[in-house]
Each structure stands twice: as structure tokens, then as C-alpha cells.
Structure 1
Amino acid sequence: MQKVLLVCASPRKKSNTMQVLEECAKEIEQNGLEAEIISLRNMNIDSCHACLKCAKIKKCKIDDGLNEIIEKIRKSDGFIVGSPVYFGTARGSIMAALQRIGMVSRATDKFLSWKVGGPIAVARRGGHTATIQEMLMFFFINDMIVPGSTYWNMVFGWAPGEVEEDEEGLETIRRFGNNVASLIKKIKD
């Protein structure tokens, strides 16, 4: 079965970012694909050391749990990341993870090439577009396919559950999930 892996960068237990990714995952599943969400909440993701050992050992030399996520990405057809915006940009943990995932892909079998996906940003007021742009660079430099939606993949909310009030934002995310699933099915046909 075709699958999309979604990664949540929020450190909060009751996270708006997780709630938004769950909406996206529901849409993907309604299109007949499997969706799995992984949280970085209890992980301490280190930055890439640029040691290039991944080219020889076919995984990252840093043992902090990211290699297990990399294997899941390798086996998936799609990859979506969601980050809260606390200080105007994506959380450091997701950017560290993306840089290492990209390095392993580029140094080994280029497993990210032609995967479908994209970024999602969740914030109280601002920083959404900067966060999306920052994460989007990962998708483009790794030869991935990023479908559009009805607006930018952003949802407004601060307090737990507040994202439910941003119906336009949630509809944008649902449409994005639908477009990811539809594109994967077309590519695989």
C-alpha cells in the first residue's frame, strides 16, 4: 500500500501542529493511502556534522533515533513535515532532522527524489511564510514534488485546540493532503 509519512516537530503534548497533521493524515487515508505520523517531541535531534560517513555506512552515524525515521521515509511514497512557529522560523529540531535526512539521501541512493510532500506551519500570528520557505528548500534541493493547495500550508492557533477556529487554514491543509495523495496515485499508476 502507498504510504505518506508525516513528522511533527512540536515539543508540546497537546499540540496544534499534531492536530493539523492529523487532519492532513485523515484526508490522505480517505484517498486510500496509509498515513503515519511521527513526533519528534521526546527526541533530541543533533545537527548534521557533515562528516559524510553516511556515504559509507548508508545511514547517519549519529545515533539519536533519526535513522529509524529515515528508514520509514525511504519506504514511503510521500513525506510531510509540520512545524510550530515560536520565534519566526521553523523549530531547530525539524531543520536539524531535515538537513541530516537530506544528507543521507544525497550520499546514498537519493531516496527522496520524486517523493511527494511538503511543509506545514502552525503559528499564533506570524512567521508562517518564513517557516514554509525555510522548510520548502529541503524539498526542492532533494528533487521532491510539492503540490499546491488553495493557499499556503499554514494554520493559525496558539492555545491547544485553537487551530479548529481557522477553518480556511484547515481546509487548505485538507486540500494539500488530498493533492499529495492524488499525485502519489497518479505517479504510481
Structure 2
Amino acid sequence: MSKVLMLCASPRKESNTMHVLEECAKTIEENGLETEIISLRKKKIRSCIACGKCSQLHQCALKDGLNEIIEKLKDSDGFIIGSPVYFGTARGELMSALQRIGMVSMSSGNFLSWKVGGPIAVARRGGHTATIQEMLMFFFINDMIVPGSTYWNMVFAHQPGEAEKDTEGMKTAIKFADNVAKLILKIK
């Protein structure tokens, strides 16, 4: 069965980003696909140290839990990432994870190529579009397919539970998730 792996970059226990991804997961599952959401909340993901060992090991030399995520990603057909926006950018741990995942993929036969997915940004007031652009670079440079939606994949929220109040943002994210699922089904 096809699967979509989702990565939540929020450090909060009651996270709007996680809530958005959970709603996306429901939509994907309604299309008959499996989902798994992994939280980076208590993980200490390090930045790439440019050691080049991934080309020999076909995994990252750093041992901080990212290799387990990479193995799950290898077995997935889709990949959606969600990040809160802090100071106009995605969370540092997420970008470190994406850079290392990309390095391992490129040194291991480009296992990300033709996977379907994309980013979702959640923020109180602004920085959404810059954050989406920042995260999109990972998908494009790794030869992945990013479907559209009815608007940009962004949700306005700050305090726990506020994501639901942004009905347009939630509708956009859920439509994006539906498009990810439908595209995977078309390709498979």
C-alpha cells in the first residue's frame, strides 16, 4: 500500500502545525493511502558536517535518529513537511534534516526522485511565503513532484487550536493533501 510520510517541525506539545498535518493525514487516508507523522519535537537533529561519508554508507554518519526517518522515507511514496515560521524562516532542525536527507538521497541513487509532496507553513502573522519557498527548494532539487492547491499551503495560527479558525488555510492544506494522494494513486 502506498504511504505518505509527514514530518512536523514544531517544538510545541499542542502544535497548530501538528494539527494541520493530522487533518491532512485524514484526507490522505480517505483516499486509501497510509500515513505516518513524525515529530521532530524532542529530537536533536544536527546540521550536515559535509563529511561525505553518506556516499559510502548510503546513510548519514551522524547518529541522532535521522537515519530511521530516512529509511521510512525510502519506503514512502509521498513526503509532506510542516513547519511553524520563526523569524521568517522554517525551523532550523527541519532544514538541517532536509539537507541531510537530500545528501543521502543524492549519494544513494536519488531515492527521493518522483516522490510526491511539499511543504506547509504555519505562522501567527507573516513569513509564510518565504518559508514555503525555503522548504520548496528541497523538493525541487531532489526531483520531486509538488502538486498545487487552491492557494499557498499556509495557515495562520499562533495559540494552540487557532489553526481551525483559519478556514481558508485549512481548506487549502487539506486540498493539497488530497492532491498529493490522488497524484500518488495516478502514478502508481
TM-score (norm 2): 0.99
Deviating 4+ runs (over 4 angstroms): none
Structure 1: gaps spanning 5 or more residues: none
Q: Please say if 1:97 is aligned against 2:97.
A: yes
Q: Deviations over 1:132-181 (max 9, x none)?
A: 00000000000000000000000000000001100000000110010000
Identity %: 74
Q: Distance in 2 between matches of 1:12 and 1:153?
A: 20
SS at match of 1:108: coil
TM-superposed deviation, 1:26: 0.6
Q: Distance in 2 between matches of 1:141 and 1:86?
A: 24
TM-superposed deviation, 1:25: 0.6
TM-superposed deviation, 1:86: 1.8
TM-superposed deviation, 1:52: 1.1
Q: Please say if 1:138 is aligned against 2:138.
A: yes
Q: Distance in 2 between matches of 1:24 and 1:131?
A: 19
Q: Distance in 1 between matches of 2:159 and 2:11?
A: 14
- The one-letter amino acid of 2:141's match is I
- 1:34 is aligned to 34
Count of residue pairs the alignment pairs up: 188
Give the alignment of 1:176-187 within 5 angstroms.
176-187=176-187
TM-superposed deviation, 1:130: 0.4
Structure 2: gaps spanning 5 or more residues: none
SS at match of 2:4: strand
- 2:55 is aligned to 55
TM-superposed deviation, 1:109: 1.7
Q: Deviations over 1:84-121 (max 9, x none)?
A: 01211101000000000000000112100000000000
- 2:150 is aligned to 150
- The one-letter amino acid of 2:176's match is F
- 1:66 is aligned to 66
SS at match of 2:155: strand
- 2:167 is aligned to 167
SS at match of 1:149: coil
Q: Deviations over 1:38-86 (max 9, x none)?
A: 0000000000111110110110000000000000000000000000012
- 2:75 is aligned to 75
SS at match of 1:51: coil
Q: Distance in 2 between matches of 1:187 and 1:77?
A: 10
